[in-house]
Structure formats: structure tokens, C-alpha cells
Amino acid sequence: MECFRIVGPNRIQGEVTAGGAKNAALPALAASLLSDGPLELSGLPAVRDIRTMRHLLGHLGVESEERAGVVRLQATDLARPDDAPYELVKTMRASILVLGPLVARLGHARVSLPGGCAIGVRPIDQHLAGLEALGAEVQLEHGYVTARARRLAGGAFRFTVPTVTGTENLMMAACLAKGTSVLDNCAREPEIRDLATLLNKMGARIQGAGEERIEIEGVDRLPSASHRVIPDRIEAGTYLLAAAMTAGEIFVRGAIAADLAPLLEKLAESGCDLEASEAGLRLRRTGELKPQDILTAPHPGFPTDLQAQYMALMTQATGLSTIGETVFENRFQHAPELGRMGADIHIHGTFAKVHGPTPLSGARVMATDLRASACLVLAGIAAVGETIVGRIYHLDRGYEGMELKLQRLGAMVERLPAEPT
Ligand code: EPU
């Protein structure tokens, strides 16, 4: 199993470009199922989740080809199969994003239930209740969700919890429903706005994406469109945090300040100098890091996908910081690994107390999810000596060429084909 070998400490310095957002690219790819015309997407990051989604779409009959960074998808013939099998869904929960488009376009779909996940239970009840509100008949059988509707009908649905992929699934389904749909308590992440921009370019009539209430007037057909996905705010935030942690200086080209506001606020309060421009974001830290508490929450709150990396940063702040996780119930698995590197972290339920600054020393560590792995890479760069981060297939799901980007920023990170014995 491949791993990263990091020799630290190193200071992160230089410029990096944020890739396209994985979590915007995944629903954008799924949207190809809604259209019989070609959909051209650019800016898709070269990460494993994107390859998995393209593989799943291929299985469903979507033809795709890539030329000069543009992926052209054509879903003319979607006869059979209409199923998303367990083998694919279990490796990537976002596969559930094909459910809404398939039932809207074909009138039927069969998608494996995703099952448990390292960061929490992550049910899909809201996706299913929402589709029922649009007239689908939903059944759970043999580990699969089956949804049927001759044609979905516009309806009203209020999410009991704002869910990102749930909002995206329903928004896509409602585009081809007959009549108007009103969705309330929607998730407001920038990736949802980006998906609505794409769908509207395809001919959909969506208003309010990025707000709590989204209204969608159904249309009969969604013809072709071209779209570039937004830059990845979580990747951008991870590199900003790497520079902050190592008292470095970085320019993240393409990073959008508005989409990263909750992180930038904390970084500024903790003593980093920040400068935002049209071109991107610059961060510099010269002085001591002040501890800052965070509480993760749906957008515009502090993103759960940056919580682990932020915890790594707080191990270097002078004093006590409290990190609260409200989105997922099991997302502190990086804390004991940071502890093995010398961090002083105590977990009390959904809160972590971090006492800093603690010198970090290189160690063999392993993470169980994508963002926790990124947190350990950051810790490895700041730590003295050699760190081996195992199971980096998690990282490859969502970070494009992370070791190459970090090398250019001055870190000594290399990919090894297997963990040393
Ligand atoms: N939830 C329910 N019922 C549902 C759906 C969600 O109770 O039907 C709960 C979840 O269990 C969780 C909360 O609602 O407690 C929010 O989950 P959400 O559905 O918003 O998460 P998601 O759509 O499955 C997306 C991102 C995640 C990110 C979360 C939260 C994609 C493909 N994935 O997941 O990204 O953490 O939103 O922002 O967009 C990552 O990139 O590392 C990642 C995990």
C-alpha cells in the first residue's frame, strides 16, 4: 500500500494553484444523466473520486471522452442497466448522486445503499423522503434503493437537516419534474450554487441556490451546456493551513475568499496576515499563533472538511483551543494519531481540547478518511524527523498530486510504493 514519507520540519513557501472542486465536480458529472445532449465539463480534478464517478456513469451508459482538459459526456442512450452497484457505491458515497437524475430522466433507478462510513453513520433518509415528496415510490430491498415514478411531479419538501448531496440530488430531480418544486432548509454550500449554475446553463429554471429556499420550475428537457467547476475551497484551505502551521508564506491561486470566509476569519484572529484579490489568496505568518476555537457547521459555518487540518494548526498555537464538531459524529480519528506525534489533545464527546504549542516529532501514522489524512500530512511537515503517513489512497480520493504541490512549496514529501517494514 502506497504511503507518504515526510521529513520535517519544513516551511511552506511559494505559490500553488487550487484545482477544481471535487465536491462540485461530482454532482456536475451526475448531472450529465439529465441530458440527452452533450455536457462539457472542465476543471475536473484528477482525483480518484472523479474517476470512480466517471466509471459509474460509464456503467449506466454515459459515453465520455476527455480532450485538452475538457470532459465531454453524452447520455443519449440510458436504457439498461439503471443500477448503481454496491462495489462502486461502497467506495464512494457520492454515488448516491445518480439516484435523483436517473429517476427523473428514466422513471426508475436502483442504487445500492452506501452503508456506514468512517466519519459517521451518514444516512440518506432525506434524499429518499425528498424524492417521495416529488412523487417517487421508494423501496429499500436487498441493500438497494429502488425509486420509480412515471414522471416526477413538482412538490414541496423541507429537509430536516441541511444535506449537501441531498439538496443536490433533489435539485437535479426537480429540474425534470412536471411543475414547480420548493425545497426548504437546503444546504447552502458554494458547490450547490455551482451545480445550479450548471443546470441553469443546461436549461433548468432554478432560483435561490445558495440560500435556504430553492425554487425549481420543471422543464421537459435539458439540452447541452459547457461549464467549468469552481476551485476547491477545501484544497485551498488545506494549503493555507500548511503555510500558517509552518510560519510560512503562500499564494493560493484561484482560491475564492468569500467561499473560505469562516476559515480566513480564524486565521486572521490567530495572527496570520491575509490578502485577498481576484487572483487568489495570500497568507503569511511571522509571529506567534494565537489559539482560536471553532465549531463546525453547515455553510456558512466553519467547514467540517477543514476541521482536522485546523486541529493540526492548533497544536502549534500558544494556549488552549476548543474544536467542536457538529456535522459528523465520528470525525476526530486524527486526534490520537496527532497525539502519537506529540500533540496534547483531549476528546470530550464532540469537542476536542488542544493544548499548544507542542513540538511535534515524526512518527508512523495512519488515517481513516480523506481530510484526516491531510491533517497528518500537515503535522508531518511541521514535525521534526521522519513521518510515514499510511493508507494514502484516502488522500488520492480528493487531493490532486498533493506530494508534487507540496514539494514545490518546499516540503520534503515523497510517495513510496509500499510502507517501509
Ligand atoms: N444527513 C442525514 N440524512 C440524510 C443526509 C444527511 O441525517 O439524508 C446528515 C449526515 O449524517 C450529516 C449531515 O446530515 O450528519 C450533513 O451531511 P451531508 O449530507 O451534508 O453530507 P454529504 O452530502 O454526504 C458532503 C460532502 C462531504 C462533506 C459534507 C458536509 C460531497 C460529495 N461530500 O457530504 O465531503 O463533509 O457534505 O459538508 O459533497 C469530503 O470531501 O471529505 C467530504 C466528506
Mean pLDDT calculated for residue range 341-364? 98
Q: How close is the Cα of 150 to the center of ligand 1, in Å?
A: 29
Q: Is the pLDDT of residue 346 over 90?
A: yes
* pLDDT tens figures, 370-415: 999 999 999 999 999 999 999 999 999 999 999 999 999 999 999 9
Asked whether the bond before 300 is cis by omega within 30 degrees of 0, the reply is: yes
Residue whose Cα lies nearest atom 14 of ligand 1: it is 163
With a 6 Å cutoff on the Cβ, whether 300 touches ligand 1 is: no
Tell which one of 126, 163, 188 to mutate to probe ligand 1, the residue whose CB is within 8 A of the most ligand atoms. 163
Residue whose Cα lies nearest atom 43 of ligand 1: it is 305
Q: Is the pLDDT of residue 208 over 70?
A: yes
Q: How close is the Cα of 214 to the center of ligand 1, in Å?
A: 18
In DSSP terms, 322 is beta-bridged to 353
Number of Cα atoms under 13 Å in the Cβ half of residue 398? 25
In this prediction, what percent of the chain has a pLDDT beyond 70? 99
Query: Average model confidence (pLDDT) for the chain?
Result: 96
**Alpha-carbon distance 74 to 39, whole Å?**
6
pLDDT at 79: 65
**Alpha-carbon distance 303 to 234, whole Å?**
8
Q: Which domains, from first to last, does the chain contain?
A: 3-19+231-416 (3.65.10.10), 22-228 (3.65.10.10)
Q: What band does 80 get if pLDDT is binned at 50, 70 and 90?
A: low
Mean pLDDT calculated for residue range 48-76? 95
Mean pLDDT calculated for residue range 101-113? 94
Tell which one of 113, 125, 128, 164 to mutate to probe ligand 1, the residue whose CB is within 8 A of the most ligand atoms. 164
Mean pLDDT calculated for residue range 194-213? 98
With a 6 Å cutoff on the Cβ, whether 23 touches ligand 1 is: yes
Is the sign of the CA dihedral 260, 348, 369, 272 positive or negative? Answer: positive
Q: Say if pTM beats, i.e. exceeds, 0.95.
A: yes
* pLDDT tens figures, 284-298: 999 999 999 999 999
* pLDDT tens figures, 128-148: 999 999 999 999 999 999 999
Q: How close is the Cα of 164 to the center of ligand 1, in Å?
A: 6
